[in-house]
């Protein structure tokens, strides 16, 4: 059963490892005065991630949590992240260019309340370098997918997809840029659908 709608603005957290372009789209879509939801926390596993700087400039709490090397690195990160998410009373977790695989235990704690965006039309081309995979496969179209996160890699229930053509002469860079434009539209729309209770895992 979906916990949404809440009857109040949802508290959103974004996990990002890199430049934060999807984070920017989410910050624009869910500003402090939004009645449906607000981005109140951004977490990154990389100290110098531009995503943290963008969050701070927007007046959103930005936290660096290290992912230590070695066997216990993931558990260490997830313990710290879980505590922070609980303390900030987060309702929905959004993975936006977060380049780590979370444990089944962590995902299970947030079942139905954690989303991801992926640059392909899942189930096609899961995992890394999805745009390169699409070019190598010779497909005529690809796109992006917003989905609920489960214990697998890019395997959770799909919320929505947006399609783009693969053009003659496309490179990984040109195709990635075209998909990214659609990601910036798809992710906020998918979050709205979840927060309204229109979709559930």
The answer to whether residue 98 sits within a structural domain is: yes
pLDDT for res 200: 86
The answer to whether residue 3 sits within a structural domain is: no
pLDDT more than 90, % of the chain: 96
Asked whether residue 21 is marked as a ligand-binding residue, the answer is yes
The answer to whether residue 103 sits within a structural domain is: yes
Question: Is 118 one of the catalytic residues?
Answer: yes
Q: How confident is the model at residue 119 (pLDDT cuts 50, 70, 90)?
A: very high
Asked whether residue 44 is marked as a ligand-binding residue, the answer is no
Tell me the H-state helices in the chain. Answer: 21-29, 50-57, 73-87, 104-109, 130-137, 172-195
Whether residue 201 is predicted with pLDDT greater than 80 in this model: the reply is yes
CA dihedral 19, 22, 26, 28 (to 10 degrees): 70
CATH number at residue 25: 3.40.50.170
Mean pLDDT of 163-169: 97
Q: Which pairs from 28-31 meet CB under 8 Å and 24+ separation?
A: 28/188, 29/187, 29/188, 29/191, 29/192, 30/188, 30/191
Q: What are phi and psi of 54, to 5 degrees?
A: -65, -40
- Tally of domains in the chain: 1
The answer to whether residue 201 sits within a structural domain is: no
Asked whether residue 20 is marked as a ligand-binding residue, the answer is yes
Domain assignment of residue 121, given as a range: 10-195
Q: Is the pTM of this model over 0.85?
A: yes
The answer to whether residue 163 sits within a structural domain is: yes
Q: How confident is the model at residue 2 (pLDDT cuts 50, 70, 90)?
A: confident
The answer to whether residue 165 sits within a structural domain is: yes
pLDDT for res 137: 98
């Amino acid at each position: 059963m979906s916990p949404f709608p809440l009857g109040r603005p949802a508290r959103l957290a974004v996990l990002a490892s890199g430049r934060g372009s999807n984070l920017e789209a989410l910050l624009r879509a869910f500003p402090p005065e939004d009645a449906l939801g607000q981005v109140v926390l951004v977490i990154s596993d990389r100290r110098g991630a531009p995503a943290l700087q963008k969050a701070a400039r927007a007046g959103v709490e930005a936290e660096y949590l290290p992912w230590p090397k070695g066997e216990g690195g993931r558990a260490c990160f997830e313990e710290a992240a879980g505590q922070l998410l609980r303390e900030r009373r987060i309702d929905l977790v959004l993975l936006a260019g977060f380049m780590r695989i979370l444990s089944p235990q962590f995902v299970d704690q947030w079942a139905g309340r954690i989303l991801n965006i992926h640059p392909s039309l899942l189930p096609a081309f899961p995992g890394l370098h999805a745009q390169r995979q699409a070019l190598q496969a010779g497909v005529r179209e690809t796109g992006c997918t917003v989905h609920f996160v489960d214990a697998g890699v890019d395997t959770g229930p799909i919320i929505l997809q947006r399609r783009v053509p693969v053009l003659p002469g496309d490179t990984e860079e040109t195709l990635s840029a075209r998909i990214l434009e659609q990601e910036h539209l798809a992710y906020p729309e998918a979050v709205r659908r979840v927060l309204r209770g229109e979709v559930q895992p």
